[in-house]
Amino acid sequence: MTAIAQPTKLISHERRGVQALIFSLKRNPWLVLVYAVLIGYTVISIYPILWMLFMSLKTNPEVHTNLFGLPQSWVWSHYVHVLTTTRVPRYIFNSAWISMVTVIGVLLLSLPMGFAFGQLKFKGSYLLFMLLLAGIMIPGQTTILPLFLQMKRFNLLDSPLAMIIPYIAAGLPFATFLLRGFFRSLPSELADAAVVDGASTFQVFWHVMMPLTRPAISTLVIFYFMWTWNEFLWAMLVMNREIFKTITVGIYTSYQNQYMFDWPLMSTGLVIVTAPVIVIYLIFQKQFIEGLTAGALKG
Amino acid sequence: MEKKPRIIKQPTRIQVFWRKTVPYQFIILPLAFYFTFFFLPALQSFYLGLFNYDGYSPMKTFVGLDNFRKIIFEDRLFTRAITNNIYWTIGSLVLPLTIGLLLATLFNTKGLFGRGFFRTAIFMPYVLSMIVVAMLWSEIYNPQNGIINRLIEIVTGNASHIAFLGDTHTALISVLLAATWSAVGFYMVIFYAGLQTIPEELYECASLEGANGIQSFFYITLPMLKEVLTVMIVITVIGSFKVFDIIYTMTHGGPLNATEVTATRMIAEAFSYSRFGYAAAYSTLIFLIIAVFSAIYLWLNRRQVGE
């Protein structure tokens, strides 16, 4: 469109790759400095992660002779060792299913609340919502001790429920807040039309409104999956049984005990913890960053 | 929504009640769950702080505010921990926040190529678990064979075996640098989102008037970013009083309590020394500190929340 009105823009638009880069540098020489800083910081960001990956593929003597570079020969035996002789696969499995159950739980409980607070009018809704929102302000540390005693009283310590239940409860304020905003933005005519056709409020929620919140749901899924996967403090406190340990706690305790000084093996464990998160991040970057931005700027 | 004129039979009382309470049916179970497992424990924490309790035996002794008195006036480690929290707050405002803001500003330069790549790369450390960050950086700081000591060797030519995490003078700042590494991407992304809301005409106008890049940063970017900046500062302060994972895994509060913060103290009191009541009083104090900053935060954010 603009090409017709502004022919100069067309020209600059058609430059691609290196040519465009040189063109932009000629127009604004300061860009060289900008690139230098950004590339410099990118190296700082990425190199430690790559270093960890390289380290996991090196042999033990190589750690001393070749600390910085690529592995001389790519040794996969650490991965074989970690995945076949240790409990790491079990930890991964635990983390995966506990994270998934948490995500599903958060959604199942926060969707109806988000809908009610966002679309329905009822007495006390503002007060109840504010009480819920106060949860975002309560630091995790404040709930830890009574929650621990509560779990003990219910005899839930060392059971996966001791992790899942508090994770879900802690996730509700922010999830409800995000969904409420989303439900509010949907036109109420949608609901009215469905009601005229004879739908109940529940049907309106489930069949009309819910499918429209898919973007918010995908943001929440990724956000909470990663959060649960990375959680450490609570998982460490309530879970002492090896078979239910999550990957963060499992890696931390087992490496503290045995592999502290075996860098390639330790790095292998770290790569295994990190790989799923990085893959999910690379695929769903947009949703993840949107969720964070919403959390920081609106929550 | 309750208009249903076609009903011929008079609805029974139960039906009327059911229809009237529809909105509450949506929220009652989730809210009950939330109150039981989140809100109530938070309140119990205040109550627990008034007792001497080891967390195991059935004995609970009411001691009133004695725990608080002991913590504030007698517990030297509390003073140390609070001081470290304050150092950590200042450090987090100086390092990740500032670096993130600078990177976001550079990132916002017109005509920049490869934005997607830079963002992906710089944000990546943030998705790593704190455990991974902590263990990775413990290797990087290693006195025998860590990257940093090796780099110092290469630059100066002398063998270097600095125990960054083992020395009381360097431990806290070393942990803070590791945390900075992981957090910068977060700040950059948020600030970049804030920068994009600033209309470009302002910059064009300023450059027509002869302002250089640094001037437009201080006279346009910063004032326009005021809201985002204040919110981020408050988030940073709140986060600094909550910090736990990375310190616990890297130094365990050591060496010689040099990196002790309130959260590590609280966990140690409860789970190493079985002083649950005392630890609960600790957590109440943390809560009160954070509540002050949260109130500021809510107040700054009142427009979005209260609408």
Q: In the structure encoding, which two tokens stand for residue A156, read together?
A: 């839930």
Return the residue of B nearest to A233 by Cα: B245
Q: Do A128 and B31 touch (CB under 8 A)?
A: yes
Find all residues with CB under 8 Å of A253, minimum gap 6, and list them: A236, A245
Q: Do B22 and A125 touch (CB under 8 A)?
A: no
Q: Do A45 and B213 touch (CB under 8 A)?
A: no
What are the pLDDT digits (tens) for A223-281? 899 899 989 989 999 988 888 999 999 888 877 766 667 888 888 989 998 998 899 88
What stretch of H or E contains B61?
strand B60-62
| CA-based nearest distance B169→chain A, Å | 24
Return the residue of A nearest to B32 by Cα: A169
Residues A25-35 as b or e (16 or more Cβ within 10 Å = b): eeeeeebeebb
Which residue has tokens 């405002």? B93
Q: Is the pLDDT of residue B7 over 60?
A: no
- What is the reported pLDDT for A296? 66
Helix (H), strand (E), coil (C) string for B142-199: CCCCCHHHHHHHHHHCCCCCCCCCCCCCCHHHHHHHHHHHHHHHHHHHHHHHHHCCCC
Average pLDDT over residues B168-190: 93
Q: Do B37 and A135 touch (CB under 8 A)?
A: no
- DSSP per position, B36-55: IIIIHHHHHHHHHTTEEE-S
- DSSP per position, B72-130: III-HHHHHHHHHHHHHHHHHIIIIIHHHHHHHHHHT-TT-S-HHHHHHHHHHHHHS-H
Identity of the residue in B30, B36, B120 whose CB atom sits nearest the CB atom of A285? B120
- What is the reported pLDDT for A11? 47
Find all residues with CB under 8 Å of B265, minimum gap 6, and list them: B77, B78, B81, B253, B282
- DSSP per position, A125-143: HHHHHHHHHHHHHS-HHHH
Binning pLDDT at 50, 70 and 90, where does residue B292 land? Answer: confident
What stretch of H or E contains A52?
helix A30-56
Q: In the structure encoding, which two tokens stand for residue A74, read together?
A: 């790519």
**Distance of CA A202 to CAs A195, B34, B158, Å?**
10, 21, 73
User: Are B134 and B245 spatial neighbours (Cβ–Cβ below 8 Å)?
Assistant: yes
3-state helix, strand, coil in chain B (%, to 5): 70, 0, 25
Binning pLDDT at 50, 70 and 90, where does residue B302 land? Answer: low
| CA-based nearest distance A54→chain B, Å | 12
Q: In percent, how much of chain B has pLDDT > 70?
A: 95
User: Are A175 and A107 spatial neighbours (Cβ–Cβ below 8 Å)?
Assistant: yes
| CA-based nearest distance A272→chain B, Å | 10
Q: Is the pLDDT of residue B237 over 50?
A: yes
What are the pLDDT digits (tens) for A210-220? 888 888 888 88
The one-character DSSP state at B218 is I
**Sign of the torsion angle spanned by Cα atoms B245, A234, B288, B300:** positive
Distance CA A204, CA B25 (A): 14
What are the pLDDT digits (tens) for A268-288? 989 998 998 899 889 888 888
What are the pLDDT digits (tens) for B70-109? 888 888 899 999 999 999 999 999 999 999 999 998 888 8
| CA-based nearest distance B294→chain A, Å | 6
Q: Is the pLDDT of residue B40 over 80?
A: yes
| CA-based nearest distance A195→chain B, Å | 7
| CA-based nearest distance B303→chain A, Å | 10
List strand residue ranges (DSSP E) for chain A, in order.
none
Phi, psi torsion values for B93, nearest 5 degrees: -75, -35
CA–centroid distance for B181 within its chain: 15
Identity of the residue in A34, A46, A135 whose CB atom sits nearest the CB atom of B109? A34
Average pLDDT over residues B139-162: 86
Q: Which residues of B touch A31 (CB under 8 A)?
A: 109, 111-112
Residues of chain A under the 70 pLDDT cut: 1-17, 257-260, 295-299
Binning pLDDT at 50, 70 and 90, where does residue B229 land? Answer: confident
User: Are B31 and A135 spatial neighbours (Cβ–Cβ below 8 Å)?
Assistant: no
Q: What is the complex's ipTM, to 2 decimals?
A: 0.84
Q: Is the pLDDT of residue B307 over 80?
A: no
Q: Do A34 and B132 touch (CB under 8 A)?
A: no
Q: Do A278 and B127 touch (CB under 8 A)?
A: yes
Q: Do A143 and B249 touch (CB under 8 A)?
A: no
Q: Which of B26, B247, B301 to mutate to test the interface with A (most CBs of A within 10 A)?
A: B26
Number of H helices, E strands in chain A: 16, 0
Which contacts (CB < 8 Å, 24+ apart) does range B24-28 have?
A: B24/A116, B24/A122, B26/A112, B26/A113, B26/A115, B26/A116, B26/A120, B26/A201, B26/A205, B27/A112, B27/A113, B27/A116, B27/A117, B27/A128
Q: Which residues of B touch A195 (CB under 8 A)?
A: 1, 3
Question: Which amino acid is present at A189?
Answer: E
Q: Facing residues of B60 across strands?
A: B53
Distance CA A226, CA A166 (A): 16
Binning pLDDT at 50, 70 and 90, where does residue B2 land? Answer: low
Q: Which of A45, A60, A252 to mutate to test the interface with B (most CBs of B within 10 A)?
A: A45
Q: Which of A46, A143, A272 to mutate to test the interface with B (most CBs of B within 10 A)?
A: A143
**Distance of CA B287 to CAs A16, A135, B71, B245, B263, Å?**
54, 12, 14, 18, 11
* Averaged pLDDT of chain A: 84
| CA-based nearest distance A169→chain B, Å | 5
Q: Please give the model's pTM, rounded to 2 decimal places.
A: 0.85
Q: Do A149 and B55 touch (CB under 8 A)?
A: yes
Identity of the residue in A41, A143, A205 whose CB atom sits nearest the CB atom of B122? A41
User: Are B301 and B231 spatial neighbours (Cβ–Cβ below 8 Å)?
Assistant: yes
Identity of the residue in B41, B118, B123 whose CB atom sits nearest the CB atom of A146? B41
Return the residue of A nearest to B303 by Cα: A298
Q: How many CB pairs under 8 A join A and B?
A: 264
Q: Do B129 and A201 touch (CB under 8 A)?
A: no
- What is the reported pLDDT for A53? 93
Q: Do B121 and A21 touch (CB under 8 A)?
A: no
Best CA proximity match to A236, nearest among A264, A256, A218, A216:
A256
Q: In the structure encoding, which two tokens stand for residue A35, read together?
A: 């690139």
Q: Is the pLDDT of residue B137 over 90?
A: yes
Q: Which of B4, B28, B34, B39 to mutate to test the interface with A (most CBs of A within 10 A)?
A: B34
| CA-based nearest distance B213→chain A, Å | 10
Q: Do B136 and A270 touch (CB under 8 A)?
A: yes
Distance CA B201, CA B206 (A): 8
3-state helix, strand, coil in chain A (%, to 5): 80, 0, 20
Q: In the structure encoding, which two tokens stand for residue B182, read together?
A: 């992981």
Residue B170 burial (C-beta neighbours within 10 Å; 0-12, 13-18, 19+): middle
Q: Do A292 and B190 touch (CB under 8 A)?
A: yes
User: Are A163 and A97 spatial neighbours (Cβ–Cβ below 8 Å)?
Assistant: no
